[in-house]
Chain A
Amino acid sequence: MKRLTKDTEKEKEKLPWDERLDRWPIPWYTLFVILILIPLFRPIGLPLAISDPTRRFYNFIEQLPAGSVVLISQGVGIGSYPELGTQLEAIYTHMMRRPLKFIIYSTGTEAWVALQTIAFVHKGVPESYGKKYGVDYVELGIVPGTDEVIASSLLSSFSRTAPTDARGNAINSLPLMQQVQDGHSVNLFIYISGLPPADVIRTVHGVWNIPFMMATQALEWVDCVGFMGGGQMVAALNSTRGGAEYELLLGTPGIGLKATDMLSLTFTAILVLPVIRNIVYFSRKFRRRT
């Protein structure tokens, strides 16, 4: 072990500093941690312009008539938590403010935990906002299957797809679910997921003609832009930034706005690092030639 360390040290000394960082990136990791910690202790508070899709998302929910039924498919995983968690929190807050009825289901076990912690624990259970279980909202719990199959099956028949809710009640015994038997009674579908929306849109918008909105990760934003351009998607929230913009619109600054400072610092560094690397790379190349 001692010998190995010695050899490694020798090898390390031979390399130029930039290539040394390739193999032993501890300084970068330290910098990364520092950049994340700075906004936690001292928020920078850079101004955030609200984008059109976020404004459309907010306005659509704001303009829904009282008593409209919103079906929310939420798939916030641990990996997608930084991006989708902020959005779920903001959407949940908005749903609590408006006199709307909603049915929410989780597409996986992690998603169910996320719903309990992000929405119900951080923001308070719907009862604390005057909503009554079974009348104003229903939680279906975890509905197994792939997202498009769940959506398609639920919209065909809620009671056959999920015979009991998350609390073990028979679906047909809940007043809200007696009104909402299938997709005909749903006025809006909100899809919170890091997966491509194409298959779910095909069912929700294509078959049932229900307005479709999505809260997505940055990776899937390209898909959302395409569908919004085509008119199949009303609006979408783009990653942490979308969640933060939504918080601004709601007037409730939360974790999303805190995270945008971290985004600004770390993303700037992610861009600066390759620039420095290329300057070093090209200057060395040029020196070798001359």
Chain B
Amino acid sequence: MATSKTGQLYRLRIPIAITFIVGIMMILSQVIAKKQVPVFIDMAGRIQSWVMVISAFMAVATIFRVFVTWLSTMRERKTGSNWQLFLISAIGFLARFIVGIWNGLTGVWTNWILSYVLVPMETGIWAFNGFFYWSTAWRSFKIRSPEVGWLFFCMAVQTLSIAPVGSLAFPWITDFSNWLNNGIIRGGERAMLITTAITGVVVGIRTVLGMERGYLGGITMRPATKGTEEKAG
């Protein structure tokens, strides 16, 4: 999506400049925090408060947007759109919303909805899940490759370590499961965490420097010319 010069200024350069200033401010507040520079610490605190306010606004906006989508689906009543389900969702949403506002978080009616509507429904959904897990054990564990074999072996060890029958049949299973958890699984998990953290730092630096522009919605740098488009992000 190419934009004009004014468009570039408002939709590209100013957001990048704000990102750069805010990003640098947050980095400095963390780096110089030990030296107690009040300006940076104060600014970082303010920015965090803004983020909280904007998040709350976003939550309300998202709920409003979802509700509007439901309403438009109901109005169109297209075949196969399951508009009846949206109608039920909208009624449920409104009922919960009104009761919540009027009756508070722990009021009698809020509790009634929780105990007699939400809890039984969720119990039903989780019970269905149990059946799905069960049939998945039959469907998914065809050992077609060594990787699946290894996965099955780990699943068997973990399952047997939890069920009493496991430690009864194989007394070593709990120790082995702990070794597996603490050594191999935990090690792998830590490696993944470190990788994610490094990736986060790199993406953060790129975003602050304006090299990562996915959040701008794919706006191009220059007006598009025939055949050449410099895509953002």
Binding site for B on A (CB under 8 A): 21-22, 25, 28-29, 32, 46-49, 51, 77-79, 81, 109-110, 112-113, 141-142, 144, 166, 218, 221-222, 225-226, 229, 238-241, 260-261, 263-268, 270-271, 273-274, 277-278, 281
Contacts and interface: CB of A to CB of B under 8 A. Distances in A.
Contacts, number: 117
Given A110-B122, A226-B186, A51 B163 contact: no
A278 B135 contact: no
Contacts of B138: 21-22, 25, 28, 273-274, 277
A119 B134 CA distance: 30
B189 to A, nearest CB: 7
B106 interface: yes
Given A110-B119, A222-B186, A263 B134 contact: no
Given A113-B114, A261-B164, A274-B137, 6 more contacts: A29-B135, A79-B126, A110-B119, A142-B106, A226-B186, A266-B134
Q: Which 7 A-B pairs have the closest CB atoms?
A: A274-B141, A264-B165, A25-B135, A267-B163, A78-B122, A225-B181, A270-B137
B87 to A, nearest CB: 24
A271 B165 CA distance: 12
Nearest to A263: B163
A277 B138 CA distance: 7
A142 to B, nearest CB: 5
Contacts of B160: 267, 271
Contact of B134 (A28, A47, A226, A260): A28
B43 interface: no
B174 interface: yes
Given A46-B164, A113-B111, A141 B141 contact: no
Interface residues of B, number: 41
Interface of B: 105-106, 110-111, 114-115, 118-119, 122-123, 126, 129-131, 134-135, 137-139, 141-143, 152, 156, 158-160, 162-168, 174, 178, 181-182, 185-186, 189
Contacts of A267: 159-160, 162-163, 165-166
A278 B139 CA distance: 10
Contacts of A25: 131, 134-135, 138-139
B135 A28 contact: yes
A230 to B, nearest CB: 10
8 contacts: A25-B131, A25-B139, A78-B119, A110-B114, A141-B105, A141-B106, A221-B181, A225-B182
A160 to B, nearest CB: 16
A110 B106 CA distance: 11
Contact of A268 (B118, B163, B181): B163
Chain A, interface SS category:
helix
A229 B135 CA distance: 36
Most chain-A Cβ atoms within 10 A of its Cβ — which of B129, B135, B166, B185? B135
B95 to A, nearest CB: 15
Nearest to A82: B126
Given A79-B122, A218-B158, A274-B152, A48 B164 contact: yes
Most chain-A Cβ atoms within 10 A of its Cβ — which of B162, B168, B186? B162
Contacts of B139: 22, 25
Contacts of B185: 222
A79 B167 CA distance: 26
B130 A218 contact: no
Contact of B131 (A29, A268, A271): A29
Contacts of A240: 162
A264 B134 CA distance: 14
A28 B137 CA distance: 10
B164 A278 contact: no
Contacts of B106: 112, 141-142, 166
B118 A110 contact: yes
B107 to A, nearest CB: 11
A225 B186 contact: yes
Contacts of B143: 278, 281
Nearest to A79: B126
Given A109-B105, A141-B106, A271-B159, A264 B164 contact: yes
A223 to B, nearest CB: 8
A49 B167 contact: yes
Nearest to A198: B193
Contacts of B122: 77-79, 110
A268 B135 contact: no
Contacts of B159: 267, 270-271
A263 B186 contact: no
A268 B164 CA distance: 10
Contact of B156 (A32, A261, A271): A271
